Every structure is written in structure tokens, then in C-alpha cells.
């Protein structure tokens, strides 16, 4: 069913609120009984206000920053010696960085639907750009649930899903449909989109108070390319000089022999077409990667400005900041560009969570557990003390953020179900050591197997080697099980 975002989504959010927040109703009823027992109206109101304030002060504000196509290593704190991301680095120093974070599907709309709903694509069903979430799924997105729980909610930037923009489902909505544009005329000046989103974030924060927790989701367009523009990486001209005096090394698997070893359907794929535009000469490679880095530094500056505003407004001590991206990005590895495929560059993404309430001993940690885009919605709800719907398939990261040792997932399912004539569909299983890739549209299916512990750049497909037959049969069985169980 296509959702009527304006009225009905809101109505359902209200119904959900009614169903979930029975404790609040109980307290309201208890207040009524107290009145009949002779308590003064003013006294009861005062107590209710104090209770609300206590409850509000315990619930953190949530600031959710989602970049577009930022790979995991495009940050200083992940060991990149060239890119400048001082605020992201500081976020990691003062928070927790998840160094093995992944998207379960490497394309904007499907991954964003997973971020909102905590569900895999085979459950939320979003694999087209023009497709909105069903109403059933929309009402359990984290912003709708948080609003139902009393949060003031805001959305800024690329909405990323099809259908009408859900303006009325948020208290503050400055989202845009489609891919957006990087440059806009504002008061006679050309302004970069990242700066505009920053100003909108400050506007949202100015409307917040300490009496009501907030959840602000900012969905940057950067560092996504401007599709169909030959310049591709349209950064803020103020950052033009950045990286101008460095030469960015080419990745190991950019050597043509890696591309030549790919099957024909990958050599002819969309990723190769875009590689021609971005990386096919040393000059294009330098210009493209520097443009990509400049776009990310632009987001880093936005983070710095918004963080400064949180401090100025007194929200910093009770605001959890979460930074992630919807999917990764090839910078010429395997002779490819874009994302979509299950190779590491495409599926591995940044994730940093800074919770200012953590004791200093718990900060600056690097968690190695495999975490996923579907974990974010459950995490945000858990931080806010809101029940996690059973339909969500991810898991709250709260114990990991708090430094606890818990049993964690040992493998996970990847899927790319987007229909495109030049992008093959794929599924697979990723464990901490192994990766099994299966291109599902081919008969027989084309399969790849990598031993990541000994082959982190995925240079040697060992699928046909007898030494690995036991591992392969285990991974095939997990793939078969999970493609059914995750529906």
C-alpha cells in the first residue's frame, strides 16, 4: 500500500503512542484519582510538570548525521592520512567508533529505509527510487516512534525515499526529494547545500528547549556525486585549496590485472562506466578523490558548527551524536566506481556514537563487532527508552556503546535487489573472516569466496579450491537460511 504521508502517517503515529505509552496514561489516571482525594489542582499540575521534567532530563537528545556514499576509511580517525576530518576524529575520541560497520544493502534508498525501520530490504521492500515506505512500516520508523514518545523531531536534507515528502510527520521538516542539487541561490549568493543544511539545523535547535527532548536527523547529500554532471564531485569552492599539494596514492586493486580477473558481467557493469568518468586517468583520479574528500571535509565543518551550537545552547551534555553513512564507495578498487556490489569498499561505512553521559573511561573506544545499518533505529529507540518493535531486525548497540562485553552476531546477510540492466543483483554472507558473494541472476549463479583474514583486499577468489569446500558449504547454508528467515 502506498502511504498517504501527510495525514494518515501522523494519525497512526498517534495511535501507536496510545498503544505504547500506557504508563503515561496510568500516571494521568493516577493524577485524576489524587484530585478526587482532595489534592489541589495546582499542586497536581506542579507535580506532573516536575515529573515530565525529570523524565525529559533522563532522556537524551539525539542528533543523527547520515552522509551519502562515505566509505569507512574516509576519516582521519580510521587511519586515512590525507583527509581532514577533525570534528569526526574528535567525535571518535570522545565517543565510541565502530570499525566494522556495514550496510546490508549498498544503495541509497534501500539502505535509508533500513536505517529508518531497522529492517532488511527483503522485509521493508524498498528497492526502487520512487517507492515510499508502506504505512505499516512508516509508523515504526525511529523518528515517528520518538515523536510519539514526546520527542520534538526534525528532518533536514535528502529524504531518500519515494512518494510525497512526510512533512507533517515531523515537527520540523526541511527535507527534499530526489537527489537534490549542490548549489542554490540564497539572497543573491550561490551557497553550497552543506552550508544550507547547517543553517537549517541551527534553526531547528533554536526552536528546542530543555523541557522536551529532541531528535534531529540530518541527511547530507555530500559526498555523493552530482549525477549527470561531468564535474561529479561539486564541493564548496571555499575548500578548493584543500589537498591541492598532495598526491593521493592509488589503491592496490586499481592495478588493471584485478579488473581483468572480474567476470564479463562486472567488466561491462555500471561501475565500470562510472570508473571511466572518474578514475580512468591519473589526473581524473586525483581530481575525483580530492573532490570526494573536500565534500566530506565540508560535512566535517558542518558537524563542528552544529556541535558548537549545541554547546552554546546548553544541549551538549545531554545530546547523543551519531554519525554514519548509507553505503560505501569505490575509489577505483577493482577498476570500478559506484557501490552496489558486496566488496568491502562498497559495504563498509563509518559509525561513531558520542554519548556525553559516558564516563571518561568508556570513551575513545574502538569496537570491533560487526554492526549494521539495521542496528541504528533500535539503538536510537533504546537510548530514548522507547520499546523496540519486534518487526525491527537489527539490534541495539547500547551495550557496546556503554562498554559492555556481550555476545554479538557472528555473521550477517547482504542483499542488493535493485533492478538495473547493468548492475547485477547479489546476495551473500559476511563473517568476521569470510565473505561469500552470490550473483543470484545467473544460472548457474556466479559465486565468490574470500578469506578476509589473509586477503583483506579481496584479490583471490578461492571458490573452487578444495581446501575451502567445508567453509563454502557452511556459508551457502547460512545464505539459504537467512534469505528466508529475514523476510
Shortest distance, position 416 Cβ to Ca ion, whole Å: 13
By CB under 5 A, tell whether 427 contacts Ca ion.
no
68 touching Ca ion, by CB under 5 A = yes
Instruction: In angstroms, give the least distance from the CB of 68 to Ca ion.
Output: 4
Using the minimum distance from each CB to Ca ion, give the nearer residue, 3 or 108.
108
Q: Report if residue 69 touches Ca ion, rule: CB under 5 A.
A: yes
Q: Smaller CB distance to Ca ion: residue 299 or 401?
A: 299
148 or 338, CB closer to Ca ion? 338
* Residue ranges in 245-274 that form contacts with Ca ion under rule CB under 5 A: none
Distance of closest approach, residue 447 Cβ to Ca ion, in angstroms: 26
Per-residue string for binding with Ca ion, 318-337, x by CB under 5 A?
--------xx----------
Beta-carbon neighbour count of residue 183 at 10 Å?
A: 14
> Which is closer to Ca ion, CB of 75 or CB of 358?
75
Question: Stretches 66-74, 84-92, 396-404, 405-413: which one binds Ca ion (CB under 5 A)?
Answer: 66-74
The secondary element (H helix, E strand) that includes residue 437 is: strand 434-439
* Per-residue cell: 464: 573452487
Answer yes or no: are the C-beta atoms of 103 and 111 closer than 8 Å. Answer: yes
Q: In the beta sheet, which residues pair with residue 190?
A: 185
Grid cell of 382 as nine digits: 533504546
Site string for Ca ion, 92-131 (x = CB under 5 A): ----------------x-----------------------
Binding mask 9-48 for Ca ion (x = CB under 5 A): ----------------------------------------
Contact 134, 125 (CB under 8 A): yes
Chain Cα centroid distance, residue 261: 32
Beta carbon nearer to Ca ion, 61 or 327:
327
Angstrom distance (rounded) from CA 207 to CA 59: 18
211-214: Cβ within 8 A, 24+ apart = 211/52, 211/53, 211/56, 212/56, 212/150, 212/151, 212/152, 213/56, 213/59, 213/60, 213/61, 213/62, 213/150, 213/151, 213/152, 213/318, 213/384, 214/61, 214/62, 214/151, 214/152, 214/153, 214/154
Three-class SS of residue 183?
strand
For Ca ion, the closer of residues 68 and 73 by Cβ is: 68
Distance, in Å, from the CA atom of 71 to the CA atom of 149, rounded to the nearest integer, reads 33
CB nearer Ca ion, residue 69 or residue 73: 69
Q: How many residues form the binding site for Ca ion (CB under 5 A)?
A: 5
Minimal CB distance residue for Ca ion: 108
Q: Give contact residues for Ca ion (rule: CB under 5 A).
A: 68-69, 108, 326-327
Amino acid at each position: 500500500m502506498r502511504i498517504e504521508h501527510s495525514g494518515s502517517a501522523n494519525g497512526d503515529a498517534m495511535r501507536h503512542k496510545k498503544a505504547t505509552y500506557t504508563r503515561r496514561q496510568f500516571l494521568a489516571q493516577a493524577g485524576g484519582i489524587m484530585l478526587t482525594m482532595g489534592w489541589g489542582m495546582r499542586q497536581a499540575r506542579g507535580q506532573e510538570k516536575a515529573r515530565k521534567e525529570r523524565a525529559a532530563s533522563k532522556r537524551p537528545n539525539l542528533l543523527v548525521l547520515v552522509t551519502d556514499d562515505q566509505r569507512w576509511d574516509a576519516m582521519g580517525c580510521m587511519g586515512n592520512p590525507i583527509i581532514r576530518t577533525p570534528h569526526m576524529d574528535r567525535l571518535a575520541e570522545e565517543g565510541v567508533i565502530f570499525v566494522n560497520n556495514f550496510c546490508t544493502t549498498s544503495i541509497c534508498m534501500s539502505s535509508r529505509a533500513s536505517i529508518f525501520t531497522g529492517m532488511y530490504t527483503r522485509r521493508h521492500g524498498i528497492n526502487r527510487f520512487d517507492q515510499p515506505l508502506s504505512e505499516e512500516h512508516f509508523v515504526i520508523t525511529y523518528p515517528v516512534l520518538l515523536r510519539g514518545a514526546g520527542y520534538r523531531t526534525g528532518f533536514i536534507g535528502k529524504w531518500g525515499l519515494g512518494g510525497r515528502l512526510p512533512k507533517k510527520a515531523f515537527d520540523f521538516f526541511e527535507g527534499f526529494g530526489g537527489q537534490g542539487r549542490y548549489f542554490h541561490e540564497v539572497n543573491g549568493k550561490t551557497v553550497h547545500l552543506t552550508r544550507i543544511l547547517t543553517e537549517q539545523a541551527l534553526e531547528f535547535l533554536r526552536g528546542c528547549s530543555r523541557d522536551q527532548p529532541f531528535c534531529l536527523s540530518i541527511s547530507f547529500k555530500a559526498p555523493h556525486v552530482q549525477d549527470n554532471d561531468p564535474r561529479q564531485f561539486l564541493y564548496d569552492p571555499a575548500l578548493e585549496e584543500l589537498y591541492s599539494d598532495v598526491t593521493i596514492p592509488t589503491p592496490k586493486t586499481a592495478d588493471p590485472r584485478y579488473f581483468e580477473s572480474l567476470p564479463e558481467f562486472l567488466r561491462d557493469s555500471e561501475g565500470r562506466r562510472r570508473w571511466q568518468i572518474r578514475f580512468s586517468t591519473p589526473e581524473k583520479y586525483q581530481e575525483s578523490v580530492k573532490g570526494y574528500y573536500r565534500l566530506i571535509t565540508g560535512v566535517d565543518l558542518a558537524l563542528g558548527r552544529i556541535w558548537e551550537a549545541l554547546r552554546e545552547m546548553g544541549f551538549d551534555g545531554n545530546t547523543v551524536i551519531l554519525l554514519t553513512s548509507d553505503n560505501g564507495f569505490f575509489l577505483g578498487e577493482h577498476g570500478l566506481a559506484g557501490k552496489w556490489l558486496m566488496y568491502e569498499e562498497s559495504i563498509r561505512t563509518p559509525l561513531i556514537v558520542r554519548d556525553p553521559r559516558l564516563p571518561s573511561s568508556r570513551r575513545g573506544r574502538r569496537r570491533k563487532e560487526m554492526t549494521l545499518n539495521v542496528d541504528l533505529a533500535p539503538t536510537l529507540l533504546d537510548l530514548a527508552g522507547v520499546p523496540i518493535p519486534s518487526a525491527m531486525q537489527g539490534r541495539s548497540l547500547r551495550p557496546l556503546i556503554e562498554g559492555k562485553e556481550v555476545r554479538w552476531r557472528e555473521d550477517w546477510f547482504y542483499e542488493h535487489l535493485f533492478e538495473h540492466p547493468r548492475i547485477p543483483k547479489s546476495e551473500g554472507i559476511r563473517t568476521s573472516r569470510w565473505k561469500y558473494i552470490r550473483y543470484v541472476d545467473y544460472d548457474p549463479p556466479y559465486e565468490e569466496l574470500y578469506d578476509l583474514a589473509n586477503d583483506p583486499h579481496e584479490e583471490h577468489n578461492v571458490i573452487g579450491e578444495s581446501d575451502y569446500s567445508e567453509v563454502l558449504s557452511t556459508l551457502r547454508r547460512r545464505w539459504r537460511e537467512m534469505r528466508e528467515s529475514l523476510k
